[in-house]
Structure 1
Amino acid sequence: MGKKEPFNDAIDHFNKIEGNPAHAVSTDWSKLPKPIRWIGYFMFGFIGVGGFIVLVLTLID
């Protein structure tokens, strides 16, 4: 994919001053500590199961 180019020079300058990474970094779950990973799994699982339950209950009515 290559290097992501900045939108313009002002944005590039701002990102360098603020210390933002040069490119977007995706979250690598395997590098996070176990407790944080478990919290993330629980939250995504709860949202998924909750959404499924809401969908089923909506269709039953």
Structure 2
Amino acid sequence: MSDKKPINDAMDHMSKIEGYPTNVDLKKLPKPLRYFGYFMIGFFSFAILFILIAKLFT
């Protein structure tokens, strides 16, 4: 369990029931998943950059 104290009893109960990832090391993900993540981040970055440049010239 994390060292963080819950805000209230309901949040403590939800975190115990649902759980949530803590201290995730992204470098330990499988290679295909990691590469897919890199591709998506790169794609969206270039798409936003392209849209901004296109808006400047129109």
* TM-score in terms of structure 2 length: 0.80
Q: Where does the alignment leave 5 or more consecutive residues of structure 2 unmatched? A: none
**What count of residue pairs does the alignment treat as equivalent?**
57
Equivalent residue, structure 2, for 1:44: 41
Percent identical residues = 40
State the 4+ residue runs in structure 1 displaced beyond 3 angstroms. Answer: none
Write the distance in 1 (CA, Å) between the matches of 2:10 and 2:18. 14
Q: Map of 1:1-61 to 2, 5 A cutoff?
A: 3-16=3-16, 18-21=17-20, 25=22, 27-61=24-58
Q: What is the CA-CA distance between 1:26 and the residue it aligns to?
A: 5.1
What stretches of structure 1 of length at least 5 have no aligned partner? none
Task: Please provide the CA RMSD for this pair.
Answer: 2.0
Task: Give the whole-Å Cα distance in 1 for the aligned partners of 2:50 and 2:44.
Answer: 10
